[in-house]
Amino acid sequence: MATKSCLLLGMLALTCSLAVASDPSPLQDFCVSMPNSQVLVNGLACKDPKLAQADDFFFSGLDKQGNTSNPLGSKVTPVNVVQIPGLNTLGISMAHIDFAPYGLNPPHTHPRATEILTVLEGTLYVGFVTSNPDNRLITKVLQKGNVFVFPEGLIHFQRNAGYGKAVAIAALSSQNPGVITIANAVFGSNPPISHDVLAKAFQLDNKVVDYLQSIF
């Protein structure tokens, strides 16, 4: 009897943990967001569903190449609840990523989403780093049609490993996955993180910290 009770409790605990592993499940057909609403909720307030229109669930433009004329040589076009109000509460979003030759989508993390990436064109070198204390780097070279998963919250990156352009599309398990680009967050915070903190954390000279903060 005790064994059965322990097994039941374990299954309930697992069920509860899975239930909170991503965005909450919707309690209605849809909840088209009202970005300008003064109501503050964990997500975005809903407009009257009777006022929903087709455009609330629509986005166009992913057929157009993103502008990769920047120092990184990449362009991410997000399609989340900001672009499609009808995604509110649905727990899913996507992004289109264009890469110039040798272009890079730099190390970053999505604090609220797992990402699954599909290569549509070209060759990508991708990877993620596991959490402390191992910090193990897991990498793979992807070709057209290959798929790779980046677990929620882990630092990851993609780099064009070919001579031509590359294109990928990503699906994410949140309507608003968030993005923290590591270099921008550390060296481009507002106000800046103290030199003493950064110099000691990265074992850098203060002049190097100055230079990096001036870039980001």
DSSP H or E stretch at residue 213 = helix 206-215
Q: Please report, for the chain, the start and end positions of each structural domain, with discontinuous segments joined by +.
A: 24-178, 179-216
Domain 24-178 belongs in CATH node 2.60.120.10: yes
Tell me what the mean pLDDT of segment 68-75 comes to: 97
DSSP symbol at 52? -
DSSP symbol at 126? E
Residue-level pLDDT at 22: 61
Residue-level pLDDT at 28: 79
Sequence letter at residue 78: P
Nearest-10 crossing angle of helices 206-215, 195-202? 110
Torsion of CA 118, 43, 85, 117, to 10 degrees: 0
Residue-level pLDDT at 177: 96
Tokens 């009808």 belong to residue: 86
Torsion of CA 5, 14, 132, 114, to 10 degrees: 170
List the single range of 8-12, 20-24, 36-40, 175-179 with lowest mean pLDDT. 8-12
Bridge partners for 150 per DSSP: 115
- At 62, list the tokens: 């992913």
Tell me what the mean pLDDT of segment 22-37 comes to: 79
Sequence letter at residue 198: L
Tell me what the mean pLDDT of segment 167-171 comes to: 98
